[in-house]
Amino acid sequence: MIKSRESRRILMSALTALGLLLGHGGARADAVADFYRGKTLRIINWASAGGEYDIHGRIVSRYLGKHLPGAPTVVHQTMTGGGGVIAANYLYNVAPRDGTALAIMPSSLPLFQAFEDRQVRFDAAKFAWIGTIAPTQENLIAWHTAGFNSYEDLLKREFVLGASGAGSTSVIVPTVMNALLGTRIRIVPGYPGGNEINLAMERGESQGRWNTWSAWKVTKPDWITQSKIIVMVQSALNKPRDLQGPPLLTDLAQTPDDKRIFELLATAAELGRPLVATPDIPPERLKALLDAYRAMLADPEFMREAETLKIEIAPLIGEQLHSLVIRALATPKPLTDRLRKLIE
């Protein structure tokens, strides 16, 4: 009898504790909903309209709020300049740290910090990395009439490459290729954007372009099916399923240190088009943002629109992104110093 009473007492204590735990969790969820209800959440995009960053930012803005407690209004805003550093500095130093300010950041964000860029006023490791719809694979392509058909051709004669700003990967990676691999790429920077570089290729002013494989599939799928572009080399940690032929820069590296440098550059591709939040968001709101991002990716309406836009869904979320950033920032200083000298 005593044993039976003791068992009932233990059981009642456990049920009471469970009820308190569930009630506390419910209170947290209600608090998040109360906070977001009637508010406006901003998603700042560092890139101008029309490109892959803009496409990703707008589709996330259309669906994220639907899955957040309190269903806040989500607006998409553009803040260009500095290759994304201006937007990153704003998010880190000015934007409210309450879960109402997020941004689509450049995938090269950790590189800016690793290079000790004097404009950097942020610590990429302290941002809340929410998610990316899919990693990207950056590649160097040749226009079909340029007479370049493989990576080996880049070692034999000069290749004219149209590019954007000096701090972009379209300039940085080919510059490093010339230094470490002996390619003969003549970089012509200063084009305002991808559309202008595409036009330059069609006119014969440029023989190729640095871009992502996913962007080609979204913006110029006919150029792929009609073999108007030829992929010669890729900067990524892994090859995409539908592009197994062209080599990875990491496989072409001639020394372990060179490989580590190409891995650091490839981190940018792996981060994709990441959604980032400010540091110091209250934990329950950060959890709500991560849960909402996961729910958005499973939303049938989102999936249908992504398919229409030819956006691949192979997400990296939360800690998966953060660990890539930490790894990039942990690159030994002698290597980042060497890389910085190569691109100066």
266-292 in b/e form (b: 16+ CB < 10 A) is: bbbbbbbbbbbbbeebeebbbebbbeb
Residues of the chain with CATH 3.40.190.150: 37-134+272-332
Q: What is the CATH number of domain 37-134+272-332?
A: 3.40.190.150
Convert the pLDDT of each residue in 16-45 to its tens digit. Answer: 444 444 455 556 669 999 999 999 999 999
**212, 201 Cβ separation under 8 angstroms:** no
pLDDT at 2 over 70: no
3-state secondary structure of 306: helix
Pick from 45-59, 85-99, 147-161, 289-303: least confident:
45-59
Q: Where exactly does CATH 3.40.190.10 map onto the chain?
A: 138-268
Distance CA 192, CA 87 (A): 18
- Greatest Cα pair distance, the chain, in angstroms, is 94
Higher pLDDT, 52 or 128: 128
Q: What is the DSSP letter of 218?
A: H
Give CA–CA dist 136/272, Å, rounded: 5
- 10 Å Cβ neighbour count for 7? 10
pLDDT of residue 20: 47
Question: Which segment of 10-24, 262-276, 313-327 scores lowest on mean pLDDT?
Answer: 10-24
What average pLDDT does the chain have?
89
What's the pLDDT at 21?
A: 46
pLDDT at 61 exceeding the cut of 90: yes
Which numeric CATH code is attached to 138-268? Answer: 3.40.190.10
Residues 193-239 pLDDT 10s? 788 899 999 999 999 999 989 889 888 999 999 999 999 999 988 88
Residue of 120, 169, 150, 160 whose CA lies nearest to 268: 169
* 143-147, 250-254, 308-312: the lowest-pLDDT one: 308-312
- Examine the pLDDT at 190 and tell me if it is beyond 90: no
How confident is residue 277, by pLDDT bands cut at 50, 70 and 90? Answer: very high
**pLDDT reading at 240 higher than 90:** no
pLDDT average, residue stretch 59-64: 98
Q: For residue 256, give both structure tokens.
A: 């372990």
Are 56 and 311 contacting, i.e. CB atoms less than 8 angstroms apart?
Answer: yes
pLDDT > 70: what percent of the chain?
A: 91
47 and 80 in contact (C-beta within 8 Å)? yes
**C-alpha separations of 247 from 126, 140, 231, 243, 272 in Å:** 34, 11, 9, 10, 20
Q: Is 199 within 8 Å of 162 (Cβ atoms)?
A: no
Specify the length of the chain in residues.
344
The pLDDT of 114-140, averaged and rounded, is: 92
Using the predicted structure, report yes or no on whether residue 121 has a pLDDT greater than 90: yes
For 126-151, give one letter per residue: b (16+ CB within 10 A) or e: ebbbbbbbbbbbbbbbbbeebebeeb
Q: pLDDT tens digits for 258-270?
A: 999 999 999 888 8
* Structure-block tokens of residue 89: 């500095």
- Return all residues near 225 (Cβ < 8 A) that are at least 6 apart: none
